[in-house]
Chains A and B, each alone.
Chain A
């Protein structure tokens, strides 16, 4: 075969601002923390607020992680995610109540084991629920956003009602496992123990998701499949299986988020997941669709900013999230580090 004639497009150097642009979102967090310090003044308050804000961000990230997959990557607007969070919480908390002996004992090992079991149970149930949800509710509406909103809201209502049928209409109050209660105090700052657990879980999850999405083709297949599913199939991939798999994973992560959130709130209601949905959507959108890193940074920003603002000017706390979203979108209409382009 002949070689094609040479073709050498002209390349000039990248400008400095282009280079900084890529790293900018990562820099936001340290910048915010420093600004927070300057504004707050008192070191102990600042430390308390910063650590608990980061931990809150982690919990939000855990809940948003599933949505990054389902909404960010697969482009499915799934309000059912909120219901999965609730179901996860109910299942997990039920397990914890059964394991009352383990949670009541002042042993970290037993406590964490109980939480782990609860998480596994919750993830299994929500994963299975996600599977059914995908098959019955979501499948006919791939690619149609409005219909997705409607059917998944329908699904959300149905699942919430079923929670009422199974667990009754009352909210369930619970107490955290013994060793996760209370706070650790140092340097005048008090940090809830449970938040430290949340930080650990969030970090592990973040790293695991990054690895899976970087090392495998799954992310690529999903992104390509959303754009042109026919072509992905013509390349030999069973797109349906991949989609179902990712959807199940997203739902299971919602279950994990539910358990974590339920344990934080210490009271669970059927509507608890739904209440978090807007916040979770905001995180995924400001992070940039499909980006685990973006959602992570976004969640941390939300957590920190919420705390700082609530401390400095409580009146503004009402709109801190919305203000953050608007600001980020004005700066980057596609979110901070988009992997998928928004339509």
Chain B
């Protein structure tokens, strides 16, 4: 049963199993284990990024396609929900319409880009996605009447999902709409993740790996490589869009900086690589660690800086305002120490 749920792709390392379980439990019980606005925010973000990163890994790790447009798909989903909520008014119907429309739009756009450019070299696809993504970003900023431009959109979601909706107390924690919202995000993400896990372990997933390894031979044994690549791109885009919709539902705000920026694209890349490319579990670890670092590095540094007060230079470097410096160092070190990602490291037992 469990094997079927995991599609036969077991963690294959005790430490990894333990880590995954810890993450699962922590996320599942986050509202009760870590009460507080900040921690719930972090937990939801982890859930969403796990799915986003996993969907990117389907493309990058499994199919060997480098795309810089993943945030664009993410954004499509987010703007889908935002626009439908703005125009249809607050309601569940708006959320559903927005999500479905966003996912469809993402898949169609991916189809077009893919058919257009996946026949040629990898770098061509990478550059085209970069071009399309920046064109979309420009468009969003230009169509400010519709999209709110640089400023983004604020909108309302069903009351049941906001803190105003109170349900009483459980284990000493006030359960409100926000908690419900969290569980919506968590549940959807869990399902999406398991779905992705199944896809990569299906016959289709194996073909993707073959294509990654040697597309020339894959074609020669009868796989129509372009179709597979395009399908993978569409799937990955649709899942990213759904992740975007969840993000929009959670945040109740979308803007270019939160969904479309190149910075997020780099974050996704880093999460994939830290976690380990070509394994879905890598996405879980990568996203969790990175989001935690992003959220708590600064506070941590504040503490460290206090603690080292009096020493020369060190408190300056540990100044919370220099957290980006350490994030950069983290980028470098993680690639250094986890060349095959954390999962690769754990699996090889070293």
Check whether chain A touches chain B (CB < 8 angstroms): yes
Please give the residue numbers on chain A whose beta carbons come within 8 Å of chain B beta carbons, in ascending order: 137, 140-141, 145-147, 149-151, 153-158, 160-162, 164-165, 278, 282, 285, 318-319, 322, 325-326, 329, 333-334, 342-343
Chain A contacts for B4, CB-based, 8 A: none
Chain B contacts for A141, CB-based, 8 A: 335
Stretch from B15-23, B82-90, B120-128, B304-312 forming part of the interface with A:
B120-128
Bound Cα distance from A153 to B124, whole angstroms: 21
Q: Would you call B131 and A325 a contact (CB within 8 A)?
A: yes
Contact partner of A150 (CB less than 8 A), chosen from B66, B124, B273, is: B273
Bound Cα distance from A137 to B127, whole angstroms: 24
Asked, given contacts A150-B269, A156-B328, A325-B131, whether A333 binds B121 with beta carbons under 8 Å apart, the answer is yes
Chain B contacts for A150, CB-based, 8 A: 266, 269-270, 273, 331, 334-335
- B218 close to chain A: CB less than 8 A: no
Q: Would you call A146 and B269 a contact (CB within 8 A)?
A: yes
19 contacts between A and B (CB under 8 A): A149-B269, A150-B331, A150-B335, A151-B332, A151-B336, A153-B266, A155-B332, A157-B324, A157-B325, A157-B328, A157-B331, A158-B332, A160-B324, A161-B324, A285-B123, A318-B138, A319-B135, A333-B120, A334-B121
Contact partner of B60 (CB less than 8 A), chosen from A146, A154, A155, A165, is: A146
- B292 close to chain A: CB less than 8 A: no
Q: Would you call B124 and A158 a contact (CB within 8 A)?
A: no
Chain A contacts for B60, CB-based, 8 A: 146
Q: Would you call B123 and A343 a contact (CB within 8 A)?
A: yes
Say whether chain A's binding surface is mostly helix, strand, loop, or mixed: helix
Please give the residue numbers on chain B whose beta carbons come within 8 Å of chain A beta carbons, in ascending order: 60, 66, 120-124, 127-128, 130-131, 134-135, 138, 142, 266, 269-270, 272-273, 277, 316-317, 322, 324-325, 327-332, 334-336, 339
Chain A contacts for B124, CB-based, 8 A: 329, 333, 342
How many Å from the CB of B132 to the closest CB on chain A?
Answer: 8
How many Å from the CB of B326 to the closest CB on chain A?
Answer: 9
Chain B contacts for A165, CB-based, 8 A: 316-317, 322, 325
Contact partner of B128 (CB less than 8 A), chosen from A140, A145, A162, A326, is: A326
Q: Would you call A285 and B127 a contact (CB within 8 A)?
A: yes
Further 14 A-B residue pairs, CB within 8 A, beyond A140-B336, A154-B330: A146-B60, A146-B273, A147-B335, A150-B335, A154-B331, A156-B328, A161-B322, A285-B123, A322-B135, A326-B131, A329-B128, A333-B121, A333-B124, A342-B121
Closest residue of chain A to B124 (Cβ to Cβ) is A333
Bound Cα distance from A90 to B330, whole angstroms: 25
- Most chain-A CB neighbours within 10 Å: which of B124, B134, B277, B322? B124
Chain B contacts for A285, CB-based, 8 A: 123, 127
Chain B contacts for A319, CB-based, 8 A: 135, 138
Bound Cα distance from A165 to B334, whole angstroms: 24
How many Å from the CB of B187 to the closest CB on chain A?
Answer: 31
Chain A contacts for B335, CB-based, 8 A: 140-141, 147, 150-151, 154
Give the 6 A-B CB pairs with smallest separation, nearest first.
A154-B331, A157-B328, A161-B325, A158-B328, A154-B332, A342-B123
Bound Cα distance from A140 to B322, whole angstroms: 26
Contact partner of B277 (CB less than 8 A), chosen from A146, A162, A282, A318, is: A146
How many Å from the CB of A129 to the closest CB on chain B?
Answer: 14
How many Å from the CB of A6 to the closest CB on chain B?
Answer: 34
Chain A contacts for B339, CB-based, 8 A: 140, 147
Closest residue of chain B to A146 (Cβ to Cβ) is B273
Chain A contacts for B142, CB-based, 8 A: 318
Chain B contacts for A158, CB-based, 8 A: 325, 328-329, 332
How many Å from the CB of B336 to the closest CB on chain A?
Answer: 6
Contact partner of A325 (CB less than 8 A), chosen from B127, B331, B336, is: B127
Chain A contacts for B131, CB-based, 8 A: 322, 325-326
Q: Would you call B273 and A147 a contact (CB within 8 A)?
A: yes
- Most chain-B CB neighbours within 10 Å: which of A155, A157, A325? A157
Bound Cα distance from A137 to B329, whole angstroms: 10
Contact partner of A154 (CB less than 8 A), chosen from B121, B317, B329, is: B329
Q: Would you call B329 and A278 a contact (CB within 8 A)?
A: no
Closest residue of chain A to B131 (Cβ to Cβ) is A322
Bound Cα distance from A326 to B133, whole angstroms: 13
Chain A contacts for B277, CB-based, 8 A: 146
- Most chain-A CB neighbours within 10 Å: which of B130, B322, B335? B335
Bound Cα distance from A158 to B122, whole angstroms: 29
Bound Cα distance from A236 to B41, whole angstroms: 58
Q: Would you call B123 and A151 a contact (CB within 8 A)?
A: no
Asked, given contacts A140-B339, A146-B66, A147-B339, whether A157 binds B327 with beta carbons under 8 Å apart, the answer is yes
Closest residue of chain A to B120 (Cβ to Cβ) is A333
Q: Would you call A145 and B322 a contact (CB within 8 A)?
A: no
Bound Cα distance from A151 to B270, whole angstroms: 9
Bound Cα distance from A93 to B297, whole angstroms: 34
How many Å from the CB of B331 to the closest CB on chain A?
Answer: 3
- Most chain-B CB neighbours within 10 Å: which of A137, A145, A150, A325? A150
Chain A contacts for B134, CB-based, 8 A: 278, 322
How many Å from the CB of A169 to the closest CB on chain B?
Answer: 9
How many Å from the CB of B69 to the closest CB on chain A?
Answer: 13
Chain B contacts for A278, CB-based, 8 A: 130, 134
Chain B contacts for A334, CB-based, 8 A: 121
How many Å from the CB of A11 to the closest CB on chain B?
Answer: 28
Chain A contacts for B138, CB-based, 8 A: 318-319
How many Å from the CB of B181 to the closest CB on chain A?
Answer: 33
Bound Cα distance from A147 to B60, whole angstroms: 12
Q: Would you call B122 and A343 a contact (CB within 8 A)?
A: yes
Bound Cα distance from A342 to B126, whole angstroms: 11
Chain B contacts for A343, CB-based, 8 A: 121-123
Bound Cα distance from A25 to B60, whole angstroms: 33
Bound Cα distance from A333 to B130, whole angstroms: 15
Bound Cα distance from A157 to B270, whole angstroms: 14
Q: Would you call A161 and B328 a contact (CB within 8 A)?
A: yes
Bound Cα distance from A334 to B121, whole angstroms: 8
How many Å from the CB of B149 to the closest CB on chain A?
Answer: 14
Bound Cα distance from A145 to B66, whole angstroms: 10
- Most chain-A CB neighbours within 10 Å: which of B120, B266, B331? B331
How many Å from the CB of B343 to the closest CB on chain A?
Answer: 15
